[in-house]
Amino acid sequence: MEIMVVMVILSFGLVAVVGAAAQAARSTSAIEELESLRQAAEQVLATQVIQAQIPRERSEGTLGRINWVLNVSDDPDFVNLKQLRITTFVAGKPDGRRFTVESRQALLGSSAEDTL
């Protein structure tokens, strides 16, 4: 009888361990997805700024399996300062996880109309 009680207790413990391992795997998968989205957002930002190709308002694109949307607006407080907002999400999952990076970029040495 005692062995059966020990087996029941051990089985509950095993179920808890397996559940915790499954949750850890799901969390790791979510973190990896968010990291991919972050890297894509930073790559788009770097590419747009380095190549001085900041669009006027909105642009979209794809990096592998990740879609991105870049919104550009004028900073209300400073002339020649643009606010950039890049949102990334996994292609085919528009309602899934998203990652957003916001930045401000100065358009130095020229007017905003000349640069854009």
Would you state the pLDDT for residue 74? Answer: 85
pTM assigned to the model? 0.66
Would you state the pLDDT for residue 37? Answer: 92
| Mean per-residue pLDDT, 84-98 | 87
| Mean per-residue pLDDT, 64-87 | 86
Q: Class of the 2-115 domain?
A: alpha beta
Most confident of 12-26, 81-95, 99-113: 12-26
Mean predicted lDDT score pLDDT of the chain: 84
| First-last CA distance in the chain | 81
CB neighbour list of residue 89: distance below 8 Å, 6 or more residues apart: 37, 66, 67, 96, 97, 98, 99
CA angle 16, 17, 19 (to 5 degrees): 65
Would you state the pLDDT for residue 18? Answer: 94
